[in-house]
Amino acid sequence: MAKYIDGFVIPIPKKNVKTYRRMAVLGCKLWMEHGAIDYYECAGDDLHVKWGVTFPRMCKLKPGETAIFAFIVFESKGHRNRVNAKVMKDPRMCKAMENVKMPFDMKRFAVGGFKVLVEAK
């Protein structure tokens, strides 16, 4: 069965990674409880590679920033839509988002849904 992925790239000040991690721990708990297959939140570590377009260049990272690369795995696009709807209605998510100041600039946040082309079995 082909899986479906929600992917995220988030430029973030390094000083805010701990705050973001606390938000991500709750996100992981909620998405997994509501049926996601897997959940990853990753902070940039080795971003200055010698080939390709680097994350710092692509994200236009400023001094003191890194990139978060995150993805959530679902059974299908329909499954993703059902799980995301449940997460957004979950009272814990609603409470967590009340009057919260995001630890990153939402205008630079990238997100999208992806069909899986190749998967290791």
In a domain, 70, yes or no: yes
CA torsion sign for 87, 88, 94, 97 is positive
In a domain, 76, yes or no: yes
Whether the CB-CB separation of 68 and 20 falls below 8 Å is answered with yes
**pLDDT for residue 115:** 96
In a domain, 87, yes or no: yes
**pLDDT for residue 1:** 62
Q: At 106, list the tokens.
A: 């939402």
pLDDT tens across the length of the chain (121 residues): 689 999 999 999 999 999 999 999 999 999 999 999 999 999 999 998 999 999 999 999 999 999 999 999 999 999 999 999 999 999 999 888 888 889 999 999 999 999 999 998 7
Question: Which residue range(s) make up the domain with 85?
Answer: 4-114
Q: What CATH code is carried by the domain that includes residue 45?
A: 3.30.70.100
Count of the separate structural domains present in the chain: 1
- Buried-state track 53-84, b at ≥16 Cβ within 10 A, e below 16: eebbeebebeeebbbbbbebbbbebebbeebb
In a domain, 119, yes or no: no
**pLDDT for residue 2:** 81
Residue 34 burial by Cβ neighbours in a 10 Å radius (0-12, 13-18, 19+): middle
Distance of CA 60 to the CA centre of its chain: 18
In a domain, 66, yes or no: yes
User: Torsions phi, psi of 52, nearest 5?
Assistant: 70, 180
Helical H runs in 6-65? 17-33, 55-58
**pLDDT for residue 97:** 83
**pLDDT for residue 94:** 86
In a domain, 121, yes or no: no
User: Torsions phi, psi of 84, nearest 5?
Assistant: -60, -40
